[in-house]
Amino acid sequence: MIEKNLLSRNGCLLDALMAISSAPGHVVFIVDDTKELLDVLNAERIREMLAAGHSIDEPLSLFIGNHCPSVDEKGVIDGDEGRFACLPVVDSGRRVVGCYKTKTHKAIPLTEPLLGIKEFGYLAEACLSGWISSGGHYIGRFEQSFADYCGAKHGVAVANGTVALHLALLALDIGPGDEVIVPDLTFAATINAVLYTGATPVIVDIDDSWCIDPDAVRAAITSRTRAVIPVHIYGQACDMDALMAMAREHGLAVIEDCAEAHGAECSGRRVGSIGDIGCFSFFGNKIITTGEGGMCTTSFPELETKMRILRDHGMSRTEKYKHAVIGYNYRMTNLQAAIGVAQVEKIEQILMERSSIETTYRYQLSDFVELVFQQDFSNRKRVVWLMSLLVPEQQRDSLIDSLKMRNIDSRPFFCPLSRMDLYRGYAHNCRYSVEVANRGINLPTFPKVDVLAVTNAFKACIKPTGRAAIPLN
């Protein structure tokens, strides 16, 4: 049955791609006329060739021979088996005589949404109803059920998390001349939204929760400071008790960036219900998803009304086509909201599964005293978005590369804003965030992930040194 894995060297990349699609294990062995092994290819390798600028009609002979793991007749593997679902078994003359199934072949993505029949059912219903734009009953249902979940009075569904942040800033009348304090360790959307308004972002350091440091916020407050955007990073709630007290004292607005922390809590209140406005993302890799999507939550009816008007072209809510302000089209579709309603119904299950994945990771990696996991704080309840940890700085990038060689996706922490030319000028001293970002890695986290496959690969890439983690100084 190895015939389906064999491909003559005379073809082109397209021939290989077609053969790969029907070959067992989606791997082909390139051979010459005597069945002597020349190369092993799968779709990932073809993709790499195309990404490197080659075209699909180039002859295979151009690529042959630079990567060719195989197995001898005794079962001894020569080369890195990690990238392929199966490898050629070769005889002493390197002729292919069989096919060996490898164990570590399955590609593991960083994350996968948990979508099922419920999402599909609601989506189909929304489709068939004809309400596929921003009318339709799923929008209101999604807004209310998600706001209820967060413990906020109102939800305003929007097109994505970035425009949720922009809408929140606009509703609070933040603009040129104002300063808005943001943490250094975040996704760029947080600061970009501030820049859209013409306000000046002020970037401050994080603390050992990896969230914005309340002391750094206090030190950055000036007479122009209007708002602070605490980002609940990697599922960790910020110290909202300290931040809210400070905001009240100085008359600052608080916009929570909750894009990575649906369901996290501080002092018994869910994020999105603590500050003036909470901003959520439902992008495909977030805790719950609508494909693209976002929501602003608030318990202030005047902020809710303002956000609804600005979201809908600035149109008067009583007189159609009368515009009193320059608005935006930041609406979500009923199709997305249909998926969102189903996701809210299972958010507890999703959070539980993610949390148990983290528990398994921590157990499996408990031999490594040099690793630093996220901390838990007595006044906060963390949720798990992506398994997040710090590894020794000099090993971080090689670990990501080695995992990739084994078809396992992982990613480094966000690049601190203060380390990018675009934003550097807005930054205060941000020592911790730079150190955390240089050591941080996210591992695959989604309900069906094979944690052991990841931790085994992790252990094959780095060995415990027995030396304790270097504390953040």
The residue (of 60 and 417) whose beta carbon lies closer to ligand PLP is 417
Beta-carbon contacts of residue 115 (< 8 Å; ≥ 6 apart): 289, 339
Binding residue (CB under 6 A) for ligand PLP from 143, 239, 260, 265: 260
The residue (of 27 and 386) whose beta carbon lies closer to ligand PLP is 386
For residue 150, give both structure tokens: 């967060």
CB 161 within 8 A of CB 259: yes
Within positions 11 to 40, which residues make up the interface with ligand PLP, using CB under 6 A? Answer: none
The DSSP call for residue 345 is H
Beta-carbon contacts of residue 259 (< 8 Å; ≥ 6 apart): 161, 187, 189, 231, 279, 280, 281, 283, 286, 294
- Cα–Cα distances in angstroms (integers) from residue 426 to residues 206, 265, 316, 353, in the given order: 15, 30, 37, 39
Q: Residue 186 interacts with ligand PLP (CB under 6 A)?
A: yes
Q: Residue 184 interacts with ligand PLP (CB under 6 A)?
A: no
Beta-carbon contacts of residue 150 (< 8 Å; ≥ 6 apart): 270, 271, 272, 273, 278, 297
Q: Residue 210 interacts with ligand PLP (CB under 6 A)?
A: no
Cβ 186 to ligand PLP shortest distance, Å: 5
Strand 277-281 vs strand 294-298: parallel, antiparallel, or unpaired?
antiparallel
Q: Residue 294 interacts with ligand PLP (CB under 6 A)?
A: yes
Q: Residue 236 interacts with ligand PLP (CB under 6 A)?
A: no
Position with the least CB separation from ligand PLP:
161
Binding residue (CB under 6 A) for ligand PLP from 104, 160, 343, 410: 160
Amino acid letter, residue 350: I
Within positions 238 to 257, which residues make up the interface with ligand PLP, using CB under 6 A? Answer: 257
Q: From CA 296, how far away is CA 274, in angstroms rounded?
A: 12
Find the angle CA(444)-CA(386)-CA(210) to the nearest 5 degrees. 140
The residue (of 82 and 278) whose beta carbon lies closer to ligand PLP is 278
Binding residue (CB under 6 A) for ligand PLP from 102, 134, 162, 433: 162
The residue (of 131 and 282) whose beta carbon lies closer to ligand PLP is 282
Binding mask 267-286 for ligand PLP (x = CB under 6 A): --------------x-x---
The residue (of 160 and 418) whose beta carbon lies closer to ligand PLP is 160
Q: Residue 149 interacts with ligand PLP (CB under 6 A)?
A: no
Q: Which stretch binds ligand PLP (CB under 6 A): 5-13, 156-164, 238-246, 269-277?
A: 156-164
Q: Residue 289 interacts with ligand PLP (CB under 6 A)?
A: no
Helix pair 451-461, 347-364: axis angle to 10 deg: 30
CB 293 within 8 A of CB 157: yes
Q: Residue 298 interacts with ligand PLP (CB under 6 A)?
A: no
CB 104 within 8 A of CB 25: no
Q: From CA 233, how far away is CA 187, in angstroms rounded?
A: 9
Binding site for ligand PLP (CB under 6 A): 160-162, 186-187, 189-190, 231, 257, 259-260, 281, 283, 294
